[in-house]
Amino acid sequence: MLPSLNFAILVDGENAQAKKYMDVLGEVSSKGSIAIKWIYADWTNQANKGWEGVVRETASSPKQQFHISKDAADHALIMDAIELICTNERINAICIVSSDGGFAGLAQRVREKGLHVMAIGQKHTPEHFRNACHNFVYVENLNQDDEEPKDETEENGSALEPLLLKAYWQLVGDGDNVYLGDLGTKIKQLDSAFDSRTYGYASLKKLIKNCSEQLIIDSEQEDRCFVRLAYDEGKIKATPAKGNNFAFLIHNGQEFYFKKGDLLSSAQWKNIKKNQAVSFQRASKQQGKSPCATNVKLV
């Protein structure tokens, strides 16, 4: 059983939004308990006045840092974080609240120390910071209702299906089914910023049901849910040449490569003819420019 996470939340108050702080606390508390809430800024600067009521309401500790040098507040946050991970044995997780890519080195240091590192920032946060975290959450996704799906096709949609399939194929064993919880964990390992809320859905299950053409919910129980590849329909492009153990099928005008061993029943190989109808699942590999098919069955 994984240990429970005990967080120190370190906020770049000159970069983060005070109005989102309550949502930040709610997000972190859903992952574990919160032991420390420190917010760094030059509190003599009127631009940071909006934090005053929020700090009192949330019982957070304001950390004063005069602008005696550029990024002084950031440097104070980093030094305190290093001290925490080296001396406070109660803390096993750090949450950095900022969109500043300069915290990437800190996130990497926390990770190397063996602690869980989470960050919350805006969508424009540099990739190297996001990738240094175990879990990066977009502040735009906080406190969202599961309402209308977002139109993320241009920005995110083209990358969604390959990410889901990559995670699935890294997990699948002898059977076809993958536990949904394991799939979610694997996706986060591949992309720390993945969040179903980015696409307008409150859960990975709802996202797969509504957005994925290649994965489907196969078994839905009260406490467990499983995912498998969807089946597509196609036709054999041409009768395999004598001595060949491979062939091509066509689905929606796209060519898929498969071998004799990709048939559910290899005995069907001798029955394959041009325009023969087949069902198949998409494999994780390519053969040249052609994607590969697996679990091919004559229909």
What is the pLDDT at residue 194?
Answer: 94
Cα 209 from chain centroid (whole Å): 17
Topology annotation, domain 232-298: OB fold (Dihydrolipoamide Acetyltransferase, E2P) (2.40.50)
The class (CATH top level) of 6-141 is: alpha beta
What is the pLDDT at residue 145?
Answer: 55
For residues 136 and 192, the answer to whether their CB atoms sit within 8 Å is: yes
Mean pLDDT in consecutive groups of 10 residues from the start of the chain, 299 residues = 84 95 95 96 92 94 87 94 94 97 96 96 96 96 64 60 90 80 93 93 92 85 82 93 92 94 89 93 86 90
What is the pLDDT at residue 154?
Answer: 46
Nearest to 286 by CA among 164, 127, 165: 165
Rounded alpha-carbon distances, angstroms, from residue 24 to 40, 120, 160, 277: 15, 7, 25, 52
| Domain segments of the chain as ranges | 6-141, 153-229, 232-298
Domains 6-141 and 153-229 share a fold: no
Topology annotation, domain 153-229: Nucleotidyltransferase; domain 5 (3.30.420)
